[in-house]
């Protein structure tokens, strides 16, 4: 195999990674909280982190949900973000957007009552969480 093959392969892999990253940024833009909801998401973030930890430790949760929550907590602990902080709006909001998307999945699998039972914050905070994450409050 020639050196040209390896360069072509490297360029192809880099282009695929860039395209995948751009698709992720577009997806984050689509699911992001609108208006003041992003500010509200940052306000309740400490309670949300405690909620995630409680839900992941709850043995009554489906295993798939607990695994997703564990992976989410690992992602949140990483110092590297999928979207660099210098990108307007999404740079600082990617964590909140990803948390909201995962919480929607948790509610679909485990129900809103399971999330409510583990919520460590105030009623106002839970109402904000429901609004931000687009959760059905039945």
Give the tokens for residue 38.
């992003």
pLDDT at 138 over 60: no
Residue 126 pLDDT > 80: yes
Reported as a single tens digit per residue, the pLDDT across 86-124 is 776 666 667 777 887 888 888 888 888 988 999 998 998
Residue 28 vs residues 18, 19, 22: alpha-carbon distances, Å: 15, 14, 10
pTM of this prediction?
0.66
In the predicted structure, residue 40 carries a pLDDT above the cut 60: yes
Percentage of residues in the chain with pLDDT exceeding 90?
A: 14
- State the chain's mean pLDDT as an integer: 80
What's the pLDDT band for 67 if we cut at 50, 70, 90?
A: very high
Q: For residues 61 and 81, what is the distance between their CA atoms, to the nearest angstrom?
A: 28
Mean pLDDT of 42-47: 82
Looking at residue 32, its pLDDT comes to 60
User: 110, 62 in Cβ contact below 8 A?
Assistant: yes
Alpha helices by DSSP H, listed for 32-136, are 37-43, 45-57, 63-77, 90-110, 112-118, 123-133
| Residue 36 DSSP symbol | T
Q: How many CB atoms are located within 10 Å of the residue 45 CB?
A: 14
State the CB neighbour count (10 A cutoff) for residue 50.
Answer: 14
Compute the distance between CA of residue 100 and CA of residue 129 in angstroms, rounded to an integer: 8
How much is the pLDDT for 119? 93
CA 83, 64, 55, 102 torsion-angle sign? positive
Q: What is the mean pLDDT of residues 10-32?
A: 76
How many whole angstroms separate alpha carbon 43 and alpha carbon 129? 10
The predicted pLDDT at position 106 comes to 86
């Amino acid at each position: 195999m020639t050196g040209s093959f390896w360069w072509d392969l490297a360029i192809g892999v880099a282009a695929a990674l860039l395209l995948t990253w751009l698709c992720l940024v577009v997806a984050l833009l689509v699911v992001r909280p609108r208006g003041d909801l992003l500010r509200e998401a940052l306000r309740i973030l400490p309670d949300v982190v405690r909620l995630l930890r409680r839900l992941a430790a709850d043995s009554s949760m489906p295993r798939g949900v607990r695994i997703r929550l564990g992976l989410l907590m690992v992602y949140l602990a990483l110092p590297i973000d999928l979207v660099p902080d210098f990108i307007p709006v999404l740079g600082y909001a990617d964590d909140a957007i990803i948390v909201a998307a995962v919480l929607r999945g948790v509610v679909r699998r485990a129900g809103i009552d399971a999330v409510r039972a583990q919520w460590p914050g105030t009623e106002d905070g839970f109402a904000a969480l429901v609004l931000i994450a687009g959760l059905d409050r039945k």
